[in-house]
Chains A and B, each alone.
Chain A
Amino acid sequence: MPENTPLLSVRDLSKTYQGASGPVEAIGSISFDVRPGELVCIVGPSGCGKTTLLKCLAGLLPPTAGSVTLDGAAVTAPPKKMALVFQEYGRSLYPWLTVRDNVGLPLKARGVPKAERRAVIERAVEEVGLAHALDTYPWQLSGGMQQRVAIARAVAYSPEILVMDEPFAAVDAQTRADLEDLVRRVWQDLGVTVLFVTHDIDESVYLGERVLMLSSSPTFVQQDLAIDLPAERDQLTTRALPRFTELRTHVYEQIQRAKRGEAVASN
């Protein structure tokens, strides 16, 4: 990565849990960089420690060894400049708060004045197409809409990096396609850096500018692949491109190799 200094830098990160039957090595050693403004997807076989990796990145879980640096500062606690979207939207929104207050609570915690908060909330909720639902409760909305609320909350936080942990794993296919396009749009509109974790190979190729393929546990980065698809993506035409098929086949083969444990580290 020559010209840009990385926004997020992960160096030799490893995580070993103390299990009941001795230590379990969840993450072997992971290193990668994310440059400002990139949209990077992380894809790996199931059980490869994606969630563990994310928790370490987000400062929610201390790594056993190695370091995470965000914008030049070591991450030891949840950083100000990072917003998270969790897979379990139903459990990461506060059911006792309306959509407005769910989006607003992190801003309140940061001390944003009320009038400004109101404006930021309304803009973010508008961005995800839920302006009509500001004063409803999350549980009155469909799963897809709830995940939009979580995205609005992340957007309103105005982070430098948006980290998403398999955010669309629990929604139906049609809603998922809409939400994927929403992520691309938010990324382009706001110029935010996005790190998107998924187990869905098609999704990683469709969304990403780069795809990081992880090995099975103990995890390392198996390949760092640039996605040379046009910037304007469309569910129909992009997915029909021969290049899309080539890339997804390549990623698919790598993941299959990872599952068989044949992989060799490459950078």
Chain B
Amino acid sequence: MAAGPAPARPTSARPMSAVRRALASLGYAVGLPVLLVVAWALATRGTTNLYYPPPSRVLTAFVSTWLSPDTLVRDVLPSLGRFAVGVLLSIVIGVVVGTAIGATPWLRALLEPMLEFFRAIPPVVLVPVLMLLLGIDDTMKLAVIVSGSVWPVLLNTIEGVRGTDPVLVDTSRSYRVRGLLAYRYVVLPAASPQIMAGVRLALSIGLILMVISEMFASSSGLGYQIVYFQRQYMVAEMWSGILLLGLVGVAVAAVFQLVERRVLHWYHGSREVARA
């Protein structure tokens, strides 16, 4: 569990110093990756095989490929930007539309079967269609990201809004907490644990679709570069791109966890109390 403003955490019987605890958790976190890289280095020591580059060559390729201002500005940042905008759009659309559907029984009855159908379509097959409809620029790439990321947010929001505790709903009605105020202070917070679970899924789907959207008819971006390196037999560079994607994924997960701990501090806190 990450550090956060979690109150009333039971203290362990044998207190460890904060430094030791931090070192221990760091050890657990990086222990296995270090071991794997060492094993990889040993296995590829002194090799000249094109297909199995040693970690040192991948690392060199990483620095020269992705940390050069050129690639950073031309490929990496635009990709990350599209990813961020795409996921953000998915969250906004998912929460707004999901709240409306979740709060309106007839709308839910009308739309839910169709939503399940659309969700079941793998977004990848939409890429050629969206290319035809929207061209091959940023709009298409954003549309691809949103077409996959929006579903978990949308469906979880519908579930969360519908699942608001009936006692809480009666309480709000009897105290005449209505309209926007009710959405802001009752409906959305009540649905927020499920919404956040949807956002977590949207992030990983969004990252995948960011790469895929750049693999077709594109001339820049992370996905484009990785495919390009592959076709040029620049294997170390290709792996360095995959490494970058992994690192981006880890960073995104870490940021998400920080945000989630803040937004849902009441949820984690009350659950800890309930378990105690």
Interface residue ranges, A against B (CB under 8 Å): 55, 58-60, 78, 80, 82-84, 86, 88, 91-92, 94-97, 101, 105-106, 108-110, 137, 139-140, 153, 157
- B167 near A88 (CB under 8 angstroms)? yes
- A94 near B269 (CB under 8 angstroms)? no
Q: When chains A and B are docked, how far (Å) is the Cα of A110 from the Cα of B179?
A: 12
Query: Could you say which residues of chain A place their CB within 8 Å of the CB of B267?
Result: 95-96
Query: Could you say which residues of chain A place their CB within 8 Å of the CB of B27?
Result: none
- A78 near B176 (CB under 8 angstroms)? yes
Q: When chains A and B are docked, how far (Å) is the Cα of A84 from the Cα of B168?
A: 12
Interface residue ranges, B against A (CB under 8 Å): 7-8, 165, 167-168, 170-171, 173-178, 181-182, 185-186, 189, 192, 266-267, 269-270, 273-274
Q: When chains A and B are docked, how far (Å) is the Cα of A140 from the Cα of B265?
A: 12
**Can you show 22 pairs from A to B with CB atoms below 8 A apart?**
A59-B174, A60-B173, A60-B174, A83-B175, A86-B167, A88-B167, A92-B168, A94-B168, A94-B185, A94-B189, A96-B192, A97-B185, A105-B175, A105-B177, A106-B175, A108-B181, A109-B178, A110-B176, A137-B270, A139-B270, A140-B7, A140-B273
Query: Could you say which residues of chain A place their CB within 8 Å of the CB of B269?
Result: 137, 139-140
Query: Could you say which residues of chain B place their CB within 8 Å of the CB of A108?
Result: 181
Q: When chains A and B are docked, how far (Å) is the Cα of A78 from the Cα of B173?
A: 7
Q: When chains A and B are docked, how far (Å) is the Cα of A108 from the Cα of B181?
A: 9
In the complex formed, the residue of B with least CB distance to A138 is B270
In the complex formed, the residue of A with least CB distance to B8 is A140
Q: Quote the shortest CB–CB distance from B176 to chain A (angstroms).
A: 6
Q: When chains A and B are docked, how far (Å) is the Cα of A60 from the Cα of B175?
A: 11
Query: Could you say which residues of chain B place their CB within 8 Å of the CB of A137?
Result: 266, 269-270
What 4 A-B pairs are tightest by C-beta distance, nearest first?
Answer: A106-B175, A139-B270, A91-B167, A96-B189
Q: When chains A and B are docked, how far (Å) is the Cα of A78 from the Cα of B7?
A: 37
In the complex formed, the residue of B with least CB distance to A89 is B167
Q: When chains A and B are docked, how far (Å) is the Cα of A105 from the Cα of B269?
A: 21
Query: Could you say which residues of chain B place their CB within 8 Å of the CB of A82?
Result: 174
Known: A60-B174, A91-B168. 18 other contacts (CB 8 A): A60-B170, A60-B173, A78-B174, A80-B176, A84-B171, A88-B167, A91-B167, A92-B168, A92-B171, A95-B266, A97-B185, A101-B185, A109-B177, A109-B182, A110-B176, A137-B270, A139-B273, A140-B273
Q: Quote the shortest CB–CB distance from B131 to chain A (angstroms).
A: 43
- A109 near B270 (CB under 8 angstroms)? no
Q: Quote the shortest CB–CB distance from A208 to chain B (angstroms).
A: 22
Query: Could you say which residues of chain A place their CB within 8 Å of the CB of B176?
Result: 78, 80, 106, 109-110
Query: Could you say which residues of chain A place their CB within 8 Å of the CB of B7?
Result: 140
Query: Could you say which residues of chain B place their CB within 8 Å of the CB of A105?
Result: 175, 177, 181, 185
Q: Quote the shortest CB–CB distance from A149 to chain B (angstroms).
A: 12
In the complex formed, the residue of A with least CB distance to B274 is A139
Q: When chains A and B are docked, how far (Å) is the Cα of A60 from the Cα of B170?
A: 7
Q: When chains A and B are docked, how far (Å) is the Cα of A91 from the Cα of B166?
A: 9
Q: Which of B167, B266, B270 contacts A92 (CB 8 A)?
A: B167
Query: Could you say which residues of chain A place their CB within 8 Å of the CB of B8?
Result: 140
Q: Quote the shortest CB–CB distance from B267 to chain A (angstroms).
A: 7
Query: Could you say which residues of chain B place their CB within 8 Å of the CB of A109?
Result: 175-178, 181-182
Q: Which of A80, A88, A95, A106 contacts B177 (CB 8 A)?
A: A106
In the complex formed, the residue of B with least CB distance to A92 is B171
Q: Quote the shortest CB–CB distance from B164 to chain A (angstroms).
A: 11
Most B-side CB within 10 Å, residue of A96, A137, A140: A96
Most B-side CB within 10 Å, residue of A80, A101, A108, A109: A109
